[in-house]
Each structure stands twice: as C-alpha cells, then as structure tokens.
Structure 1
C-alpha cells in the first residue's frame, strides 16, 4: 500500500487546511511543558520531536481497510492543503499523529492538531493549522505544570497472573505440538487513582526516565516505547526489532552477566530470529537493498535488556511511512509466527481486547516521511472514568518458554507505566 492507493467505497472527505511553520526562540527546554491539560498529542525522544493540541482534522477508522482508508484520506488532505513552511525539517509543515488498533475491529485514528511545537537538532518551531476560511495567528506558548497522580492502586485486568501463566502453558503445548512456532500473549492491569489522572504527569515521568525511547500521547494512549516499527526519511527505511528480554537487577556487574546470558540464550535467540525475519520479509518488496544483521545486540534500558536488531533499507517505491507500517503490522514481535495462526490463537486464548496496545503509533508528514513505533510500555486512559487506566505488557512464547519466567517478564515490562503513575 502507498500514497497512490485508489479511493475506496468508505472514503472520508478531508478538509481544506492552511498550515504555517515558523522558527521560534526562547521557549521552554521541555516540549511537553506546553501541553494543555486535555487533548495533548506528543512524540518525543531525547528532547526532540513535537507536541500538539486542538483538532484541525481527524479521521476515525476501523476494519480490514483501515490503513488504506487512512492513507487515502491523508493524500486528499495533503493535496488540498496550503503550506508555508519556513523551517523545512522532518516534522515541520503539515503533520498528523496517529495510532492503530491491534486487530481490524479495534479503533484507529489520525489526528491533525491546530498547534504543533517541534524541535529537531537545535531548531524549534511552531506550526499553526486552520481551515482555509479562518487563518490562525501564532499562539502564545504557555508553560503548564501537571498535577501529580497521587495514590494509585493496581488490580488484575482481564486475567490474574496465575490465569495468564496457565494460558502461556497452553500456548507452549500447542507450539510443541507443531501448531505454530511463536505466539505473543499480552496481559493488562487496571490502575486506579485517588483523583483524576493528569496524563501530562506520567508523560513527563516517562520522557525523563526513558529518554532513548519514543514517548507518545495520542487520544488517551500514552507510553514510552523502545521499538521503532519503521522510519522513512529521505529515502532511507529503518526498523528496530526487539524480541528476547531479561530484567535488570540494578547491580551493574550482575546485569553485564545477565546481558551475556541473554545473548547466548537459545530460547531468546529463537524468538528474536522469528521477529527479525518477519520484518525483513515485509520490508523487502519496498526496498532496493537491505541490511539485515546476522546477530542481535543487547539494548540496555533502565528496567530491562532486550535483544535488538536494526534492519535498514533503501526505499524502492513510493510507500509512505504509514504504508510501510501497514505492511509490517502485525510483526512476529507482537503477534507470532505464522502470523495468521498466531493471531487466531491470540483471539482464542488471550481473553482481552488489546485496543491500540501493540498497534502502530506515530506521525507522518505531507511527503509521507515519518516514524511509527509499536505501542508498548503504555497505558490507555479510561474515557468514562478519569481515575482509571489500563496498562499493558506482553511476552513472546516459543517452545522453550517457562510460564513463570514469562509472567516475570511481563511484570518487568509493566514497571515503566507503574512508576510513571507514581509520585
């Protein structure tokens, strides 16, 4: 799929917008300081990225054609837009934020904010987006201070830990019986706060604690993900694959020994190989040439270590960043191998709706460049109760998986969101 996809019967008309990006000086060092209390959008890594608020245009889609419908809508919106970009860096000009559900039935959306504040390589800018009939003026940028979440209790979500371990054991039996090679199973917890959760608080906590991850906020889905599904920038396509995880202890010498054991673990190397192969196979039709590492490296994060591989390629066609994300989703890192069998098994035994957890989340510009990550280490605000949030984690299950060890892995992956909701 690409920006040239044909119009579908479910085509959604796009509005006519006027966009202006201007460089600015003297703004706060932290992009997220400018987010209003509600409706904020964010995509930040190592202090760079962009935040936005307001809604100039929005598309809500679901179903098996959701990615194609979104690309058609974006192409129409870009074609009708009037853009004055005085910055001309990735992320300036017309930009949309988006997140997509794990399954066809889960809701997905693209959002074009009214205001974007961006930063890249020492350049900071503001973008205003408005209907052609109502030209916007550059806003005054105000620093906002979020409220701490206060007391938070955590309760079992769709399954208890013991029940989830039983599901893992069932999956291992099916794998050893030859039904499939790998399946990724997820679980959730419910965070219950003593007062309404100001999403800016956990966002700032995540950005500070995990600067090398992509901290995001789209329509109540917030998190700090370490896994880049795909980036397209000036003809270069990149994807970071993570599969195989071990929890850190806080003791540097011990963690180095654990990293070495992870790099030698046949179970984790097997899981990682499935994930890398699925990404390489999906990207190959869109690349003139590719570099697929033969062995992974160990990515060190504050709470866990992952086996990681960076797959890169030179773009061969006009596929947009979103089109590439659609081709990759769902990868073996969040679904399994073979994909269809794993997806069916997830629907049969996982026992919950993932929503947008483990789906693509990211942004794209008018030229089709952008970044889409996998929505991991994240939580979804409850739209009906502002004191509640679902937080998620998953683990890749292969023939050598131990249910208790996989439960411990998910507990480690829940740490970022649990800590971010604390004081």
Structure 2
C-alpha cells in the first residue's frame, strides 16, 4: 500500500477543521493505488464486518468494483431520477476528494439500482430494496486495466478524532486484504416451486388476444421460480461460479442485510466514459447448439427469424428515439450480429454517440428504461398492461442497476438473469416478449432457458 496512514490522518484533520458546528458533516474520499488484490477474496473478507456488500464486474473488460459498508445513501421514492441526481450533485459539491488518478471507477463511486416500475404495488418480497437506492461504500476496491485502487469514504464530524478515524481505516484495510479463501459452492436445491405456471401461460394467451385488438405491439411478461437450499447461501462462491460460467456478462450483487440480489446479465443499458456513450440492443434469443454445426445453424436461423428480428428492431428503434436528442455523432449498424453466451445466443446491435453538455447518465437511463426487451411497445401502454396483469412484483428485476463516479463515468445494465437470495431460499425471475402470434408453451420454454444460468449456480 503506497499511501501511508499519516497522510490519511492529515486529510481527515483538514476536513474536520472546515466544520463549524456539531451538526455538520462532510464526506472525505481518499483513493490510492495498491498492489494486486483479489476482488472475490476482498468481498468474502467483508462478510466478517457484518456490513452490506456490493459487487460489480464487467468480466469481458476485467473491470471490478467491490464495495463494503455505507458512507452515504441516496434513496428516492418519488421523481427518482431527478432526486437521485440532485443528491449525487449535492454530495459531490460538498465532498473533499483526494484522487490523483483519472480512472473510471475511482474517486467517489455510487452503486445501486431501482425498481422496474415504482407504480407497481409492492410486496414483502422486495421490502429491503427501495424504489431507487444508491450507496457510496465506506471502502471500495477497484480493478481496471490490470491496476488496483482502494478508496476510503468517511463522513467526518466536528468532534471526530482524525487519528482514531485513520487507525480504524487501517484496521479495516488490513482485514479486507487478508486473502480470505473462497469456499466451494456446495448449494443444492432441495425444493423448487414454479409460481402459477398455468396462470402464467393463460396470461400469455390473454396478452396475444389483447395485442390483436389494440395498439400494443409487444408485452413482456415475467414469472418467478422459488427454490429452497440445503443451507444458507454464501454469496462469494456463487459470484465465482457466475464469473466462470458467464464470461460475457455483468456479474452483480447488491446486499441488503440478509437479502442479496445477484445475477449475470448480458444486457448493457448505457455506458458513459469521457462523454462517449455506448448503448446496446440485446433482444432476440435462441439456445446454443451442442456442436459447432448445430450452433451455426441455430445462429443463422435466429438472424433470419421474423419474430426475433422484429423484437430486436423494436429495441433498436427505441434506443435511437430515446437518445438522439441527448447526443451527437449517433451511429447504429444496419444489421444485428450474433452475441454468444454459454447457454444462449442473442441478436446484438451497438449504438454509440457523444453525450451533449448539460446532460448526465441519469437522463439516458430515464429515456431507455424499460427497453422493449423488458417492457414492450409502445412503452407506456405496455408498462400499464404489465402493472395490471403480471403475476409478480418485479422489484429490481429487469430494472437499471449500475454505478457512476465523480469523474462523470458510469455504466448501467438491465438486471436480468437474476435471483433474490434470502438466506436458504431464493426467487429467480425470467420473462419473454409476447406478440400477437406468440405460443404460450414456446414462451414458457424460453423462460426456462433464461432461468438456467442462475439455476445452475444455485445447485438446481
């Protein structure tokens, strides 16, 4: 560790001296470059601190964020995009940031997510997850381009002792970098309950009829599977298995007390770095083949399948319409390509542009969520239909999750291929796009395929 404790103590003391009353507080963020560290071992070691943990990785880019604790929390229940951005700008304006590195994912970083639909009546399943909830971790490990960074965020008050705070940070750092071993994932699903399968199929039949006689073109309907394990789930081994089995996905975990929302989503919503914006359309799904020849045939069939191409084009046109007024140099390929994953393959189209001044990543997320791949077309009519007819409370499933930093970088993904783990139980979620000629049995089978990535690492 190249920063010494005395420098941290000095920075904290300077921050304390700026406070005028006992009720004042100020966020101090200190980032330093460190030697190599294992993000999963860091995450596992944090379990002993009994604080909420956050995990995010883009495995294809070898980029990791691992957060521990909560130095500051941005919760919004109404006007969530506006309120969250206002709180974010406010904390940045007041914070003291010591970060000599202009590296995405360093400095002050907020990680979190939000509900798929804040207007949907909430159930007890998601009671620990707010409509919009972003956390600035107390301690954050960042891995990017083979380099490692460690950030400490702490709210200081007028009567705090800088030396005691610095000593506490050093103890925490020593504990978290103790190279805690990752246990073997020995979870076994002992019970599996498919929630209302026949009612779900009936809802697909009803939706096809409603589409035929309305202006609706597509409605995404999701369903839930509930499982019980042989023991309480340990999150680190699950993340490790997801990293090994889903190498082209975002692997995430958002812990709230004893609940943890975990997944491996291939679907980026938006990435922003140095004002360069990237959104991706990932819609249209088929399984992988058992041989190279079978895999190639399936991919070619997917490229030529009218239903999947239509579903894909819905998303492409929505992204274009959503961001064209917020960026310049907009570029969209005319034809999709195949994006292969371990269990599935998708139609894929990247969309790039340059974000205009005075706009933020929240503006783009607001425009893009929900994509037709998770909501439907037209957006508002499909959302209303889902709100009124879908059989579950999606909570954070299918919603924007991600991170942003104090250097105006950030990335959000769509929380699919996911599970809400609650000690020795979990709910898994999957959905599919329903159009006027959808077959309920085929759509049901598609959701079974989409459940596989999570079910396989949970011992199912």
| Same fold per superposition (TM over 0.5) | yes
Aligned equivalent of 1:41, options 46, 51, 54: 54
Show the counterpart of 2:412: 372
Q: For 1:84 and 1:155, locate their aligned partners in 2 and report how far apart those are by CA, in whole Å.
A: 49
Show the counterpart of 1:311: 351
Q: How far is 1:278 from its partner? A: 1.0
Q: How far is 1:239 from its partner? A: 0.6
RMSD: 1.9
Q: Secondary structure at the match of 1:58?
A: strand
Aligned equivalent of 1:393, options 430, 437, 441: 430
Show the counterpart of 2:113: 99
Show the counterpart of 2:270: 230
Show the counterpart of 2:302: 262
The alignment status of 1:328 with 2:372, answered yes or no, reads no
Q: For 2:25 and 2:216, locate their aligned partners in 1 and report how far apart those are by CA, in whole Å.
A: 46
Q: Secondary structure at the match of 2:73?
A: strand
Q: Deviations for 1:68-122, whole angstroms, at most 9, x for unmatched residues?
A: 1111111111111111113320001100001110011462200111111111111
Q: Secondary structure at the match of 1:285?
A: coil
Q: Secondary structure at the match of 2:392?
A: coil
The alignment status of 1:110 with 2:127, answered yes or no, reads no
Alpha carbons of structure 1 residues 287 and 245: separation in structure 2 relative to 1, 3 Å: same
Show the counterpart of 2:155: 131
The alignment status of 1:60 with 2:75, answered yes or no, reads yes
Aligned equivalent of 1:156, options 185, 193, 204: 193
Alpha carbons of structure 1 residues 262 and 14: separation in structure 2 relative to 1, 3 Å: farther
The alignment status of 1:176 with 2:212, answered yes or no, reads yes
Q: Is the 8 A contact 1:19 1:128 kept in 2?
A: yes
Show the counterpart of 2:92: 78
The alignment status of 1:21 with 2:21, answered yes or no, reads no
Show the counterpart of 2:252: 216
Q: How far is 1:349 from its partner? A: 1.8
The alignment status of 1:202 with 2:238, answered yes or no, reads yes
Q: Deviations for 1:321-373, whole angstroms, at most 9, x for unmatched residues?
A: 23321221112111000111111111222111000000000000013320000
Q: After the TM superposition, which parts of structure 1 deviate over 4 Å for at least 4 consecutive aligned residues?
A: none
Alignment of 1:341-380 (within 5 A): 341-380=381-420
Give 1 or 2 for the bigger CA radius of gyration: 2
Alpha carbons of structure 1 residues 179 and 73: separation in structure 2 relative to 1, 3 Å: same
Q: For 1:48 and 1:15, locate their aligned partners in 2 and report how far apart those are by CA, in whole Å.
A: 32
Q: For 1:109 and 1:194, locate their aligned partners in 2 and report how far apart those are by CA, in whole Å.
A: 31
Q: How far is 1:210 from its partner? A: 1.1
Q: How many residues align?
A: 404
Q: Deviations for 1:284-330, whole angstroms, at most 9, x for unmatched residues?
A: 11112211222111110000011111111111133222332122111
Show the counterpart of 2:335: 295
Show the counterpart of 1:190: 226
Q: Secondary structure at the match of 2:323?
A: helix
Of the structure 1 ranges 42-51 and 352-361, higher mean CA displacement relative to structure 2 is found in 42-51
Q: For 1:131 and 1:280, locate their aligned partners in 2 and report how far apart those are by CA, in whole Å.
A: 41
The alignment status of 1:339 with 2:379, answered yes or no, reads yes
Q: How far is 1:149 from its partner? A: 4.5
Gaps of 5+ in 2: 1-22, 123-129
Q: How far is 1:147 from its partner? A: 5.6
Q: For 1:184 and 1:307, locate their aligned partners in 2 and report how far apart those are by CA, in whole Å.
A: 17
Q: For 1:356 and 1:33, locate their aligned partners in 2 and report how far apart those are by CA, in whole Å.
A: 26
Alpha carbons of structure 1 residues 175 and 73: separation in structure 2 relative to 1, 3 Å: same
Q: For 1:238 and 1:218, locate their aligned partners in 2 and report how far apart those are by CA, in whole Å.
A: 24
Q: Is the 8 A contact 1:183 1:336 kept in 2?
A: yes
Q: Secondary structure at the match of 1:231?
A: strand
Of the structure 1 ranges 71-80 and 44-53, higher mean CA displacement relative to structure 2 is found in 44-53
Show the counterpart of 1:404: 441
Q: Deviations for 1:170-195, whole angstroms, at most 9, x for unmatched residues?
A: 11112222340011111111121121
Q: Is the 8 A contact 1:154 1:189 kept in 2?
A: no
